[in-house]
């Protein structure tokens, strides 16, 4: 039976880690993820877990320690944000290329500079093509639930890829919400034990980890990573189904909120989905058929499934909480429109960059996006400017 509790997103994540009881946690503090290893270190000190907690001198060392532990046959976890993730960058790629199913809690924050400690998605988008599975969390409950599912996904024999669970810094990480926790014993039963097939400390199978890989094989190894990422989609759905049977909480590759008969749709990730649901409900009461597609699984990217879900709408707005600085919209916009094009779905689509550096995104701004979509439909699908800003303090940027 679930236990009703009030926790911040960071504490919920640390609680999930406690229940998983990994072999190794290596971490270095950085706002706004600091509380996760801080809470977890208390569990270690109190003897609640028997995890080896490694307090390292940098985030680069944190990921290096996780790589070493996982390669040796241990289950490893960590947490970080923004510049800390940037400092890990080299090791992020090494972790995925070595097919090590490390699990990381990424509390999303703007990457400097200029220095900013508040929320956007520039850290996650900076490593979106590094070979990590990426799950996004609308609220504290989802951050907790995604972490409970993470190891079963990452450690699956057809996957063996690292996985990061994202949540919005301060917006969810430090906000307290009512959530349902599962019993420790039930979590351990669901997550299971880690029994890797190949690992350094297996005396019966001497192996090397991280050898030089030149022209003869690197291409094939990268293709194997790509194939594992494709297979991860089915594994995620299977684990989510098992999770629903256990807890009653349902998850898919994305959530369709009042989308089945929608004329206008917004696509977004993380906490903004909560604000958008509020606006959708308001517009529905006015007879306006607004809908939402909330991305949960960003890598592997469910391009075909998203295109199918959006095929019937008359106009789509894609909200990116980071800018690719490419003069052609944000990363999510690029992925969604590419998926629609490849799958022969032709719907007028517009990109909005929003919320950079923690800029507030009130319901009124989300409502203005739906108003823009109505204008696009009224004009016969014509879009004067497909690359827009939402909430920027210049009038012309929002036109």
Domain spans of the chain? Answer: 3-247, 254-398
**Per-residue pLDDT at 396:** 53
Percent of the chain with pLDDT over 90: 97
Q: What 8-state DSSP symbol labels residue 138? A: S
CATH classification of 3-247 is 3.90.1150.10, yes or no? no
**Per-residue pLDDT at 327:** 94
**237 exposed, middle or buried (CB, 10 Å; 0-12, 13-18, 19+)?**
middle
Structure confidence by residue, pLDDT tens digits, 80-102? 999 999 999 999 999 999 999 99
Average pLDDT over residues 219-229: 98
In 3D space, the residue among 288, 264, 250, 279 whose CA is nearest the CA of residue 361 turns out to be 279
CA dist 55 and 49 (Å) reads 16
- Cα–Cα separations (whole angstroms), residue 132 to 125, 364, 370, 386, 398: 11, 35, 33, 30, 34
**Per-residue pLDDT at 394:** 80
Which residue(s) pair with 219 in the sheet?
A: none
Average pLDDT over residues 5-25: 98
The maximal CA–CA distance of the chain, rounded, in angstroms, is 70
Provide the mean pLDDT of the chain: 97
Exposure letters 358-394 (e unless 16+ CB within 10 A, then b): bbebeeebbbbbbebbbebeeeeeebeebbbbbbeee
Intrachain domains 3-247 and 254-398 with the same fold: yes
CA dist 29 and 35 (Å) reads 8
Cα dihedral 87, 62, 119, 249 sign: positive
CA dist 331 and 106 (Å) reads 18
184: alpha, beta or left? (left if phi > 0; alpha if psi -120 to 50)? alpha
Tell me the CATH architecture of domain 254-398: 3-Layer(aba) Sandwich (3.40)
What the block records as the tokens of 138 is 């609308």
* Residue labelled with tokens 């909330």: 294
């Amino acid at each position: 039976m679930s236990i009703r509790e009030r926790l911040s997103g960071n504490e919920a994540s640390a609680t999930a880690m406690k229940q998983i009881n990994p072999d190794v946690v290596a971490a270095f503090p950085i706002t706004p993820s600091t509380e996760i290893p801080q809470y977890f270190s208390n569990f270690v000190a109190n003897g609640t877990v028997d995890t080896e907690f490694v307090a390292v001198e940098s985030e680069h060392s944190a990921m290096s320690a996780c790589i070493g532990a996982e390669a040796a046959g241990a289950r490893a976890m960590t947490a970080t944000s923004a510049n800390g993730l940037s400092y890990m960058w080299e090791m992020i790629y090494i972790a995925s290329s070595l097919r090590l199913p490390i699990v990381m809690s990424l509390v999303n924050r703007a990457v400097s500079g200029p220095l900013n400690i508040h929320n956007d998605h520039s850290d996650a988008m900076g490593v979106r093509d590094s070979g990590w599975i990426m799950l996004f969390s609308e609220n504290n409950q989802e951050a907790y639930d995604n972490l409970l599912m993470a190891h079963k996904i990452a450690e699956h024999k057809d996957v063996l890829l690292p996985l990061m669970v994202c949540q919005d810094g301060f917006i969810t990480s430090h906000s307290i919400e009512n959530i349902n926790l599962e019993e420790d014993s039930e979590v351990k039963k669901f997550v299971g034990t880690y029994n890797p097939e190949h690992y350094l400390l297996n005396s019966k199978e001497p192996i090397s980890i991280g050898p030089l890989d030149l022209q003869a094989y690197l291409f094939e190894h990268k293709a194997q990573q790509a194939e594992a990422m494709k297979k991860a989609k089915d594994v995620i759905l299977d684990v989510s189904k098992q999770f629903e049977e256990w807890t009653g909480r349902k998850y898919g590759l994305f959530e369709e909120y009042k989308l089945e008969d929608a004329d206008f749709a917004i696509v977004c990730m993380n906490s903004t989905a909560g604000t958008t649901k509020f606006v959708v409900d308001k517009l529905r009461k006015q007879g306006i058929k607004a809908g939402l597609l909330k991305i949960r699984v960003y890598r592997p990217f469910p391009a075909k499934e998203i295109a199918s879900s959006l095929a019937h709408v008359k106009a789509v707005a894609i909200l990116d909480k980071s800018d690719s600085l490419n003069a052609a919209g944000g990363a999510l916009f690029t992925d969604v429109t590419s998926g629609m094009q490849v799958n022969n779905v032709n719907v007028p689509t517009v990109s909005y960059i929003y919320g950079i550096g923690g800029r507030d995104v009130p319901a009124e701004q989300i409502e203005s996006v739906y108003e823009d979509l109505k204008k696009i439909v009224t004009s016969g699908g014509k879009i004067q400017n497909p690359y827009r800003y939402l909430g920027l303090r210049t009038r012309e940027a929002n036109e």
